[in-house]
């Protein structure tokens, strides 16, 4: 392995504007909408003795939990770096998005399972009740999804938004199924609608979980090619070599880059570093850079692996 002493001043660029509290406020509004509707469903379902309403209220509870988790993550992400948390709590949002993505996948799998089971043995569906619940659910989840669509667009907010969006889509499906049952008496329409609802829910949940997992695995951000960045840096004047190049995301919208750069021995390292930082920022939109810049030539410090001592 080889190592070089870093320059006394490594390149850093820091400018990460986060709308303080804006996402949390939007999440709180969506949470209030969902929680209020859930309470109404529980009360009406208990009075009417409707299992369908109580079941939908239980499903709404998952949305309330998802929104609550997103609020906690959004507030944690606003904490400033301190102590051992040198990047703050930014990745709390990524963990929240991962949990919400996995939850959507599990819900989709359960809905698909129930749909297949009900295709074989279709129960009698209270179509009018399903129709009215679906209509109310569409209004509630549509309103919550609209509120969340105005958020910053990070993975955490996307996860909360997808929960309400898929529920709004599910409400449309259940209303359509209820209409078919009322008009034709075809009870399996409910099961077929459930399967049609499960497919996009599974895809959206898996996509969200994958995006969050890639951030946690420190993959390069989508749309950024590390090889292209390395080539662009290497073609700058006075740059001899670029290696140990890494590009990753600390959190949504927070790309970072580090690299070891070798500069011609008769050129100014600091001038080269500033030029590279400007290139990376203007062409690729990466503001947080850490560049170790050295002159080419000289001896490399090599640490050889020693064979294990016998005995």
**pLDDT at position 66 over 50:** yes
pTM of the complete model = 0.77
User: Could you tell me where the beta strands, DSSP code E, fall in the chain?
Assistant: 2-3, 239-249, 255-263, 288-295, 301-302
Residue 56 CA to residue 131 CA, distance in Å, equals 12
Superfamily in which the 221-302 domain is placed by CATH: Cation efflux protein, cytoplasmic domain (3.30.70.1350)
Radius of gyration of the chain (CA): 27
Q: Write out pLDDT tens, residues 234-279.
A: 999 889 999 999 999 988 888 999 999 999 988 898 999 999 999 9
Q: What distance in Å separates the CA atoms of residue 79 and residue 289, rounded to the nearest whole number? A: 21
Q: Tell me: the pLDDT tens digits for 85-133?
A: 878 888 888 999 999 999 989 988 988 898 898 888 888 878 888 888 8
Provide the pLDDT for residue 191: 86
167/197 Cα distance (integer angstroms)? 9
pLDDT tens digits for 179-189?
998 899 888 88
Mean pLDDT of the chain: 82
Domain with CATH 3.30.70.1350 in the chain: 221-302
Convert the pLDDT of each residue in 139-148 to its tens digit: 998 999 999 8
Q: Which pLDDT does position 49 carry in this prediction?
A: 58
Q: Are 81 and 144 in contact (CB under 8 A)?
A: no
The residues, any chain, with a CB within 8 Å of residue 141's CB and separated by 6 or more, are 34, 63, 164, 165, 167, 168, 171
| Residues with Cβ within 8 Å of residue 288, at least 6 apart in sequence | 12, 13, 14, 16, 250, 254, 255, 256, 257
What's the maximum distance between 2 C-alpha atoms anywhere in the chain?
86
Are 94 and 251 within 8 A, CB to CB?
Answer: yes
The answer to whether 182 and 128 are in contact (CB under 8 A) is yes
Per residue in 39-65, pLDDT (tens digit) is: 887 887 677 555 556 667 777 888 888
Q: Which of 67, 57, 177 is nearest to 122 (CA)?
A: 177
Average pLDDT over residues 22-42: 87
The residues of the chain that CATH labels 1.20.1510.10 are 22-216
The CATH code of the domain at 22-216 is 1.20.1510.10
pLDDT band at 282; cut points 50, 70, 90: very high
pLDDT of residue 14: 43
């Amino acid at each position: 392995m080889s190592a070089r002493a870093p320059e006394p001043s490594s390149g850093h660029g820091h400018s990460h504007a986060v709308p303080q509290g804006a996402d949390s406020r939007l999440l709180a509004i969506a949470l209030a909408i969902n929680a209020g509707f859930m309470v109404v469903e529980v009360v009406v379902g208990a009075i009417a003795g409707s299992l369908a309403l109580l079941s939908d209220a239980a499903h709404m509870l998952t949305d309330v939990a998802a929104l609550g988790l997103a609020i906690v993550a959004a507030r944690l992400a606003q904490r400033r770096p301190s102590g051992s948390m040198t990047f703050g709590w930014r990745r709390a949002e990524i963990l929240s998005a991962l949990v919400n993505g996995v939850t959507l996948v599990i819900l989709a799998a359960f809905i698909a399972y129930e749909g297949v089971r009900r295709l074989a043995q279709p129960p009698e569906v209270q179509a009018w009740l399903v129709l009215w619940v679906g209509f109310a659910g569409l209004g509630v989840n549509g309103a919550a999804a609209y509120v969340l669509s105005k958020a910053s667009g990070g993975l955490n907010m996307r996860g909360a938004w997808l929960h309400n969006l898929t529920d709004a889509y599910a409400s449309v499906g259940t209303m359509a199924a209820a209409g078919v049952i009322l008009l034709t008496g075809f009870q399996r329409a409910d099961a077929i609608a459930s399967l049609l609802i499960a497919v996009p829910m599974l895809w959206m949940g898996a996509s969200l979980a994958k995006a969050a997992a890639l951030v946690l695995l420190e993959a390069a951000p989508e749309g950024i090619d590390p090889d292209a960045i390395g080539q662009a840096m290497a073609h700058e004047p006075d740059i001899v070599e670029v290696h140990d190049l890494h590009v990753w995301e600390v959190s949504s919208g927070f790309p970072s880059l580090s690299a070891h750069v070798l500069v011609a021995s008769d050129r100014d390292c600091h001038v080269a570093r500033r030029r590279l930082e400007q290139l990376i920022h203007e062409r690729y939109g990466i503001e947080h850079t850490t560049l170790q810049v050295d002159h080419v030539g000289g001896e490399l410090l090599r640490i050889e692996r020693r064979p294990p001592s016998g005995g």
